Amino acid sequence: EIVLTQSPGTLSLSPGESGTLSCRASQSVNSDYFAWYQQKPGQAPRLLIYGASSRATGIPDRFSGSGSGTDFSLTITGLEPEDSAVYYCQQYGSSPLCSFGQGTKLEIK
């Protein structure tokens, strides 16, 4: 069974800085089927990145994804207060059919 482990658990940064969130899979995953989501309190998750590196519609180019195999990352440049949220990685296709990481909380102070 594939387990996605995200790090760090919490990331505190200042506006204008850049931050990198990590997601490590316990087994190799198909990068075509790897995605990142942003979730703000009281809202549904929003798709940011799919196929490991493709931005979803309407997502600013401050957000970028990279990685393959077992190591993936989400980088956010020029951080803005509105980027405060919990970020989740997700894989599809391996047992379990679909799974999420436990999330990284990004705080912009």
Verify binding: residue 61, other proteins, rule CB under 8 A.
no
Distance CA 39, CA 21 (A): 14
- Which stretch in 13-21, 66-74, 75-83, 97-105 sits in contact with other proteins by CB under 8 A? 97-105
Tell the smallest beta-carbon distance from residue 16 to other proteins (Å).
29
- Tell me the C-alpha distance between 49 and 37, whole Å: 7
Is 19 or 101 the residue whose CB approaches other proteins more closely? Answer: 101
SS3 82: helix
CA neighbours closer than 13 Å in the CB half-sphere of residue 17 = 13
Site for other proteins, rule CB under 8 A:
32-33, 35, 37, 39, 43-47, 50-51, 56, 88, 90, 92-93, 96-103
